[in-house]
Amino acid sequence: MSTSQPGKEFFANHMQHLQTGDMEVIKSDYADDVVVYNNFDINYLGEPAPNIIHGSDNFIDFFKALFVFQGNILSYNINAFSETEDSILFSSSSSFSNTGDWLTANVLIMNSDFSKIKRQFMYAHKL
């Protein structure tokens, strides 16, 4: 018996999109009205974390700032992954060219067909 795992399929594609650094490709994973709760302390828009970011355009602006801060993804290891009928939860250990090693955790609340992220909760801890 085959069990469908739409979260794993979406996640694999999403990680490929993140590695490209192409903001339009990354944006295609997010609903237009996405809300992102962030604790990466990068002083986004002059305000320290936590930040609440509304809309895919604002999120992409934030992501550009995050990529400038972090640099390129050198490596990542998924430490834990789970999915429910409407969400994905994962933690990872990642290494970035500008800031080194981080432990991250994310919760992605998905739309009904697992094609777009509606809400994202981002947590990061510098190792």
In this predicted model, what pLDDT tens digit does every residue of 4-60 receive, in sequence order?
789 999 999 998 988 887 889 989 999 999 999 988 766 666 777 788 999 999 988
- Domain edges within the chain: 6-126
Task: Reply yes or no on domain 6-126 having CATH 3.10.450.50.
Answer: yes
pTM for this predicted structure: 0.88
Sequence-separated contacts (24+) of 106-114 with Cβ below 8 Å: 108/11, 110/7, 110/10, 110/86, 111/31, 112/86, 113/6, 114/6, 114/7, 114/9, 114/10
